[in-house]
Amino acid sequence: MTMYSSRAEVPLEEKWNLDDLYSDLAQWEEDYRQIEEMAGKLKELDGKIQDGSSLYQYLKLREELSFQFGKLYAFAMLKVDEDTRETTSQSYLDRAKQLSVKVSAATSFFMPYLLSLEEETLKGYIAGEEGLSYFEEDLWESFRYKPHVLNRDQEAVLSQLGEALSVPGNTFGMINNADISFGEVTNDQGEKIKLTRGMYAKLIEDEDRKKRREAYKAYYQPYLQLKNTIASTLAGAIKNNVTMARIRQYPSALEKALFGDNVPKEVYDNLISTTKENIATMHRYTEIRKQKLQLDELRQYDLSVPLVSGVKPEISYEEAYDIMCKALAPLGEEYLAILKEFKKGRYLDVRETEGKRSGAYNLGVYGVHPYILLNHQDDLDSLFTLVHECGHGVHSWLSSKHQPQISARYSIFVAEVASTVNEVLLINYLLNNEQDEDVRKHLINHFIDQFKGTFFTQVMFAEFEKKTHEMAEKGQPLNVDVFNRTYEQLFREYNGDEVVFDEEVKYGWSRIPHFYRPFYVYKYATGYASAIHLATKILEGDKETLTSYLEFLKSGSADYPLELLKKTGVDLTSPEPIQNALKKFSQLVEEFSRI
């Protein structure tokens, strides 16, 4: 595996090219000054928007500011992520964040102003000012919130509560990231050392069951110790969601959360009920896991260990890029040409070096191009990460090219579709071209476990959120016992009777940060199911699906997410896409049990 001790050693072609954003820091400073100036002009328009012309003037200036700020902020963030220890880069990012606060303050008057207008007044403004036709859809989208906005004085009071309402989430964040101290595990030298999150992710997949059990117990130790405190933060977050939904006159906290994407409650309910109706294959996989590991008792710390051991093919970055292009060939020439441009134009930052931000992401910058951060390790996981992030990258690239700035950003609801379609095409290509039986087994096992984590686990979390919010809406108490009982029952329903429960299982709710961002996780599952549905059709050679899928990638947020997906043949208001995805899971488990 290629290792570099410093960023300077990494070949130029494996480092992203930030000159496409700013080749000269003096230009960054000039943009900073201009954005400050524009923010001042926007603030001056408070109380002065009285007709279509002044409304257009405000919106046009705000979009110009948004374009420049996007570039400025992206540059500062990407510079920090190259080396998080670099203080000069940190100071640029700090300044960009301060500028963001100034911009927010300067534009905070606009939404209350817009929603104070009568519908007829806004129609008159739009009819009288030609330039507003560009902003029309966006204006009416904002106007959709009018029934849920209070009068000016009440909104002023609510805005002052913002910080207080975020306390439960912030408190959990501090507990979970700063204060938590895991138990000890034994290292290879036989010494006791403190467990870290990074170590836990590796140890829970270790072939040595004693190591897995020890890591599992050490990992859950602080959550059990802090159970009452964390239950209090979670109950607070849930009650806040319920209270805000009532104040804003939504039928429920769930419907408030779904409102932004214009998703009916039935989509959420349909996801849960269709998954539960088809849960038998998941239970079957749990049984196969028990047999394959040759265990008398299957426990929670046995559910993540790969079932095929010793498979670690080395795949260089060059080779990985080549495999990706071959695997994604079914998406057509235009798609492959974009991927080649990503590499040639140095949109990717490939290698892990000291101080570099960990993980991987795609950042689309409108008017420039996407930037992709990797920490490539020359292994199979890195190949999957490359393919995943390039899925997001091409989605950003196509949406930016084919959409005006106002509708170029796509919703989180559809984001995972593009990345997962790529992963399904990759796994299909690898299985078709792999002769080694152990590698084939490993690939199928990888796909099944990924399916389990991205789909089944998220649906289980989604149901936990729904149940606990409904309890709060009925005025029922929320505490450790209630959370434990609810989580334990769901874990049993989703994983089957083969799992023997340790005390820790029922505390699974206490470690999930997503629960402080209400009704968010279901999007992973709907996105994943949509992608499986689409990739399967594309692999079957369905030309209509391929054409509509490429159109979808060019659509940004030109329509609501459900409508964009419907144009590709995926209707999430019906059980069909979920059933098709679960059928694919069933086939994978069947094939794995055969081989």
User: Could you report how far apart the first and last alpha carbons of the chain are, in Å?
Assistant: 31
Sequence-distant (≥ 6) Cβ neighbours of residue 385 within 8 angstroms: 360, 374, 376
Q: How are beta strands 361-364 and 370-376 bridged, if at all? A: antiparallel
Q: Pairing state of beta strands 370-376 and 348-351?
A: parallel
Q: Is 465 among the residues known to form the active site? A: no
The string of DSSP letters for 121-154 reads: HHHHHHHH-GGGGTTHHHHHHHHTTGGG---HHH
Distance from the Cα of residue 128 to its chain's centroid: 41
- Whole-Å CA distances, 408 to 67, 456, 520, 526, 558: 12, 31, 22, 22, 8
CA angle 30, 35, 37 (to 5 degrees): 95
Spatial distance between the Cα atoms of 463 and 435, rounded to a whole number of angstroms? 41
Active-site option among 14, 82, 389, 465? 389
- Secondary structure E strands in 352-428: 361-364, 370-376
- The secondary element (H helix, E strand) that includes residue 99 is helix 87-107
CA distance 505 to 491: 8
357 secondary structure, DSSP code:
P
Q: How many CB atoms lie within 10 A of CB 479?
A: 13
Give dist(CA 249, CA 204) in Å, integer. 45
Which residues, in sequence order, are CB contacts of 140 under 8 Å at separation 6+? none
Tracing tokens 């974009």 back to the chain, one arrives at 338
Residue 271 CB-density burial (10 A; 0-12 exposed, 13-18 middle, 19+ buried): buried
Give the list of residues 6+ apart from residue 477 with CB closer than 8 angstroms, or none.
Answer: 471
Q: Supply 333's token pair.
A: 């020439």
Angle of helix 52-82 relative to helix 119-128, nearest 10 degrees? 90
Catalytic residues: 389
